[in-house]
């Protein structure tokens, strides 16, 4: 595995004024996960107006120049793979896929291929032009369910904004078998 560093720059807009650095970076660099960005902050790979920042909770004021020295490895490059997909809806802007349990959403350590992202790139090669092949949210490997995938930059931007504003409604259903041995209680929110 060969590591390489790629430099990214962004200007913090007024809409991110007052945000924490680790909350703003995913909006500025949506191709990377918040967890990965937090790690790079702690490693000293992020600077604000030329000054290294190592605290993810650092507040932003707007107007700052952010430089990210992203450490990428060659094996994470996403390749299309012919993995069957169950697509429930597709138009020019989005598609909705039914993710089965056992399928990882995007490549990461320990799961370099065989992911939903690899399958999406095979289904629609144009998704390679979007961050994370248009994936804007995820489900855990062992969780099944529907995922909305952006197919255009405008749809990607809109879906990311809706998720950040928490205007998207999500519903979860748990199927449980067995009887708890020690008892307990589940309180609904």
Domains of the chain (ranges; CATH) run: 3-76 (3.10.290.10), 87-164 (3.30.2350.10)
Measured CA to CA, the distance from residue 108 to residue 16 in angstroms comes to 28
**pLDDT, tens only, 43-60:** 999 999 999 999 999 999
**pLDDT, tens only, 166-186:** 898 888 888 878 877 776 777
Q: Sign of the C-alpha dihedral, residues 22, 163, 145, 130?
A: negative
- Given the residues 49, 73, 98, 140, the one annotated as active site: 140
Alpha helices in the chain (DSSP H): 21-28, 34-42, 116-123, 153-164
> Among this protein's residues, is 140 annotated catalytic?
yes
Model confidence, pTM: 0.61
């Amino acid at each position: 595995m060969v590591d390489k560093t790629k430099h990214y720059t962004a200007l913090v807009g007024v809409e991110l004024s007052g945000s924490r650095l680790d909350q703003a970076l995913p909006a500025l660099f949506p191709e990377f996960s918040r967890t990965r960005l937090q790690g790079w902050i702690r490693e000293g790979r992020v600077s604000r107006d030329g000054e290294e920042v190592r605290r993810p909770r650092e507040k932003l004021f707007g107007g700052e120049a952010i430089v990210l020295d992203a450490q990428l490895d060659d094996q994470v490059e996403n390749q299309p793979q012919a993995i069957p997909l169950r697509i429930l809806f597709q138009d020019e802007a989005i598609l909705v896929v039914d993710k089965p349990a056992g399928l990882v959403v995007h490549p990461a350590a320990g799961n370099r291929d065989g992911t939903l992202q690899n399958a999406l790139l095979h289904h629609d090669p144009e998704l390679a032009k979007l961050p994370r092949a248009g994936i804007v949210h995820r489900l855990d490997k062992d969780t099944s369910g529907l995922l909305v995938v952006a197919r255009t930059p405008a749809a990607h931007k809109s879906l990311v904004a809706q998720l950040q504003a928490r205007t998207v409604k999500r519903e979860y259903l748990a199927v449980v078998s067995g009887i708890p041995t020690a008892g307990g209680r589940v309180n609904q929110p």
